[in-house]
Amino acid sequence: MAKHKQKTKEEAKNIDGFLAPSAFSVSPNHIQIGNQYVRTILLATYPRYLHTNWFSPIINLDRVFDISIYINPKNTAQVLRQLRDQLARLEAEVMEESASGKVRNPILETAIQDIETLRDKLQQGTDRFFELGIYITIYENSLRDLDDAENKIKGMLEYQLIFSRPATFRMSEGFMSTLPLNKDQLNVYTSMNTEPLSSTFPFVSFDLTSNSGILYGINTHNNSLVLYDRFELENANSVVFGKSGGGKSYTVKLEILRSMIFGTQVLVIDPEDEYKYLAETVGGSNIKISINSPHHLNPLDLPIPKADETPADVFKSHLLDLAGLLKLIMGELTPEEDSILDEALIQTYAIKDITPERDFSNTPPPILSDLQSVLEGLTGAESMAVRLNKYTKGTFSGFLNNPTNVSLENRFVVFSIRDMEEELRPIAMYLILNHIWTQVRRNLKKRILVVDEAWWLMKYQLGAEFLFNIAKRARKYYLGLTTITQDIPDFIATPQGKAIVTNSSMQVLMKQSPAAVETVKQTFNLTDAEKYYLLEARVGFGLFFIGQNHVGIRVVASYAEDQIITSDPRQILEVEKAKAEWAKEQS
C-alpha cells in the first residue's frame, strides 16, 4: 500500500513537471511565465444599477485572458441582521443631521430606501444575497502590451462606472485564482443580491454563424466566422447600405463569387459597369442595355404559368406590371386614360391570339408598336399614342420596340445600363426587373437578384412598388433580392423602402456619411457606440444583421478573389497592365 502511494505521488510530480512552464518569475505588479507577461486585475466597486450584458464587451474583447467568477451564497438571517444594524446607523445619522439644522441628504435617504426594499425581498424569500468575486488574468508578449490591455479593460469598465484594480503584491494568488482549479486565493468579494448578480451572466458571446452557407466575413468581436446560407432564413432577401467607397459592391461581389460555387444563379442590374470584369472572369454574360445596343428586351413578353397557376391569373398580373412600366414611360395618366390603356393592352394581345382563356406559352408576344397601333384606333387614346411614338419610331425606338434576344440561361448575367441616358435609367431598371421577374416565374431555381444603386428606381412610386412587390414575393420563387444603395435617407423615406428593409432577413451596414447616420440609427435601433462605429469604419468593415441579432464584421477576401472583385481604380489599372503585358509576351 505504501509503495502504491509513493508511486502515485511520483506520477503526480512527473505530470506537474510536464505541465509546468519553463520559467516563472513573480513581480509586485505582474508575473513572467516563459516569454509571456501576466497580470491579474479584480473588480472592486460597482454602480447602484447594472444593466443586462454589461460584461459582454469584456468577454468578447479580442485579447487573451482568463476570467474567474466566484459566487458564494450568504446566510439570509445573518444578512438581515447586518442590514438592520446598517439601517439603524443611517437613520441615526439622518436624525443627527436634522437636529443640527442641516438640509436633507438625498444620498442617505436613497440608501435607506434601498435597504428597506432589500429587507422586504429577503424577508419574503423572493431574493437572496451573495458574495461576488470577479478576477481577470491578462496574457501579453510584452509589458507595454500588458499595460495597454489593462488600460483598455479598465476603460471599458469605468465607462459603466465599474472600477477595477490590479492584485498588486498578490499576483501569484491572482494567477492561481483564475486557473481552472476552483481555488479562490484572493478572496476579494462584493455583496450583491440576485438581480444585479444575474447581469454578470457570462455566456453572451456575439456569434452569428450556422452549419452551412458561405463566409461573409470575420466577426470583429471575437474573430469567429460569420457563416450563413441566406436561403435557410425566413426569406433570402438582403439590403446593403453605405456611402460611396465604403465597400458595398465589394461585399456583394464576394457573396456572388462564393454563392456561385454552390450552384446559385446570379442576376445583376449594374448602373456603373462595376460587375463587368467579374462576369468576364467567371464566364458570365455581360448584357449592355442602351438605345443603340444590339441586346433587346420586349416589355410585352409573357410569363409561362406554373402548374399551380391559371393562365388568367398570370395574364392579369402581367398586365398590372406592364401598365406600371407604361405609366413610367408616358408619365401621369388620367383615370380615363388608365382605363383605355388596360383595354388597349387586352386588344394588343388578342391580335396575336393571346387571351386569358388560352394557353399562350408558345405564342410569340406583340411588341410596343403593336400597342401603339391599337391606341391610335381608340377614341381618347390619341395623347398616349403620341407620347409612345418616341419609343416606337423616334429616338428611343431601338430600346423598347424589338423582340427579346437576351437569354438568362447563364449562371451569371449582368445587365449594364451605364451607357443609358439618365432620364431612361429608371425605365431600363424597371424593364430589366420585369423581364427577370417574368423568367423567374417560368422556371424554379436558386437565384440571387442584385439591384445596385436601387435609389434610381425608388425615386418613382411605381418603381418602388414594383421592387417591393418582388421583395415580398421572391421567397415563393426561390429568389433572394439584394438591394444596394448609398442614398439611404431617400430610400428609407418611402413606405416601400421601409417595407423592403423589413422584408429582408439579412442586412449589412457599411461606412455611413454624417448626413445619413441618424436615419440609419433610428431605422436599425443602433446604440451611440454603433453609430460612431459606422461613421469611423474603415473600408470593408460594418455591421451584419440576421433578424434581431447583429455583429461587427470585417469582409475578407483571398488574393485571387480580391483581384477579381476589386473596384479600386489603382488595382484595376494594375490588373489591366499585367494582362496587356501577358498578351504581349504570348504574341
Q: Examine the domain organization and report whether 483 and 438 are in the same domain.
A: yes
Q: End of a domain among 403, 438, 462?
A: 403
Q: Examine the domain organization and report whether 585 and 525 are in the same domain.
A: no
Confidence of residue 29 (pLDDT cuts 50, 70, 90): very high
Q: Which position has the higher pLDDT, 322 or 258? A: 258
Tell me what the pLDDT averaged over the chain comes to: 85
What percent of the chain is helix, strand and coil (3-state, nearest 5)? 45, 20, 35
What is the residue range of 526's domain?
Answer: 232-290+410-555
CATH code, 243: 3.40.50.300
Mean predicted confidence (pLDDT) in 228-240: 92
CATH code, 378: 1.10.8.730
Give the total number of structural domains in the chain.
Answer: 4
3-state secondary structure of 420: coil
Measured CA to CA in angstroms, residue 363 lies from 32, 352, 359, 360, 435 at distances of 83, 8, 8, 5, 17
Q: Examine the domain organization and report whether 349 and 464 are in the same domain.
A: no
Q: Examine the domain organization and report whether 32 and 160 are in the same domain.
A: yes
* pLDDT tens, residue by residue, 39-56: 999 999 988 788 777 887
Q: What is the pLDDT of residue 407?
A: 86
Q: Examine the domain organization and report whether 181 and 67 are in the same domain.
A: yes
User: Poorest-confidence range of 9-13, 58-62, 78-82?
Assistant: 9-13
State the residue for C-alpha cell 478576477: 135
Indicate whether 154 belongs to any domain: yes
Indicate whether 180 belongs to any domain: yes
* Residues sharing a CB contact under 8 Å with residue 329, sequence separation 6 or more, in sequence order: 387, 388, 391, 400, 427
With beta carbons less than 8 A apart as the criterion, state whether 262 and 445 touch: no
Lookup: cell for 374: 391599337
With beta carbons less than 8 A apart as the criterion, state whether 302 and 365 touch: yes
With beta carbons less than 8 A apart as the criterion, state whether 496 and 468 touch: yes
Q: End of a domain among 387, 403, 419?
A: 403
Mean predicted confidence (pLDDT) in 509-534: 87
Q: Which position has the higher pLDDT, 582 or 267? A: 267
Indicate whether 157 belongs to any domain: yes
Q: Examine the domain organization and report whether 59 and 137 are in the same domain.
A: yes
Q: Examine the domain organization and report whether 244 and 166 are in the same domain.
A: no
> What does pTM read for this prediction?
0.66
With beta carbons less than 8 A apart as the criterion, state whether 372 and 341 touch: no
Q: Examine the domain organization and report whether 544 and 575 are in the same domain.
A: no
Angle CA 88–93–98, to nearest 5 = 125
**Cα 61 to chain center, whole Å?**
20
* pLDDT tens, residue by residue, 455-477: 888 888 888 888 999 999 899 88
Q: End of a domain among 350, 375, 403?
A: 403
Confidence of residue 12 (pLDDT cuts 50, 70, 90): low
Q: Examine the domain organization and report whether 443 and 510 are in the same domain.
A: yes
Q: Examine the domain organization and report whether 378 and 427 are in the same domain.
A: no
Indicate whether 503 belongs to any domain: yes
Indicate whether 9 belongs to any domain: no
* pLDDT tens, residue by residue, 150-160: 999 999 899 88
Given a cut of 80, whether residue 576 has pLDDT beyond it is: no
150: how many CB neighbours lie within 10 A of its CB? 21
Given a cut of 60, whether residue 84 has pLDDT beyond it is: yes
Indicate whether 16 belongs to any domain: no
Q: Examine the domain organization and report whether 43 and 168 are in the same domain.
A: yes
Q: Examine the domain organization and report whether 327 and 470 are in the same domain.
A: no
Indicate whether 68 belongs to any domain: yes
* pLDDT tens, residue by residue, 110-169: 878 878 887 888 777 777 888 899 999 999 999 999 999 999 999 989 988 899 999 999
Indicate whether 352 belongs to any domain: yes
Q: What is the pLDDT of residue 236?
A: 93
With beta carbons less than 8 A apart as the criterion, state whether 230 and 82 touch: no
H/E element, 322:
helix 311-330
